[in-house]
Structure 1
Amino acid sequence: MQKQVAGTIIYNDQQGSHFLVKPSVRGYNFYELPVRAGCSPLASVLWDFRHTIGIDVDQLRLYDSVMAELDQEKVAVFVFDHLIVDEQVRAKFEQQGLEFVLASKLHELFASVHVSETTPFMNLSK
């Protein structure tokens, strides 16, 4: 089984915070993709945003990253911000089945993500 990674982009407007997600029959999921051979998980997400979706990743800033359990698999989730989201950018994401959704509509997604309560460094001291 190929290792997976997930990514999302946050942007804020008058309505609130929006997250990049993928709609599914069960609600919404973070954008998940396989880790590219020879690349780190972070590099895989950035490569996909640039080459598959076609956005300017030089605008992005890494806001946060966590190790989370998504569908019983531990996955690195990278959260970016600072992207200027206009209609052209929205259209690029929509072509890949992705959309920006208000955080207030993503309660089920956030509740389904299990984040480890200890950092990996804590385990090194034992």
Structure 2
Amino acid sequence: MKKQVAGTIMSVDTDGASFLVQQQGSQYSFYNFPVFTGQTPLGSVLSKLREEVGLDVDQLRLFDSVIAELDDEKVALFVFNNLTINDHVRALFAKQGLQFVAGSQLHQLFESVHVNTQPLFEQLSK
């Protein structure tokens, strides 16, 4: 099985924070897919956003990255911000089945993502 990677874009405005997610039925999940051969997990996310979504990734800033457990699999999760979101950008994401959803509507998603807060180097020293 190929290693998976996940990414989201956080947008904060007067209504609060919203996140780029995909919806499957009544459930939301982060945009995730296999890491591209010959690329790093971060490179895979940026390539996917640039080449398949059509996004100008030069606008993005990496806000955070964590190793998260999604569906019992450890996945690199990258959180970006600094994107100007307008109708054009929303349409690009909609073509890929992605949308920005208010954080207040994503309780199920946030509760299902398990993030290890123990520093990686501390784990390696044991």
Cα distance, 1:120 vs structure 2:
1.2
- Number of the residue aligned with 1:23: 23
Q: How far, CA to CA, are the matches of 1:63 and 1:124 in structure 2?
A: 25
TM-score w.r.t. the length of structure 2 is 0.97
The Cα shift of 1:125 comes to 2.2
* Cα RMSD (Å): 0.8
The 2-side partners of 1:96 and 1:34 are apart by 16
SS at 1:80 equivalent: strand
Aligned pairs for 1:25-40 (under 5 A) are 25-40=25-40
Q: Percent identity?
A: 56
Between the two proteins, the alignment pairs up a number of residues equal to 126
Q: For 1:5-62, what per-residue CA distance to the aligned partner results, in whole angstroms no more than 9, with x for missing partners?
A: 0000011122111100000124100000110000000000000000000010000000
TM-score by length of structure 1 reads 0.97
Q: Which residue of 2 aligns with 1:120?
A: 120
Matches within 5 A, 1:61-76: 61-76=61-76
Amino acid at match of 2:107: H
Q: Which runs of 5+ in 2 are unaligned?
A: none
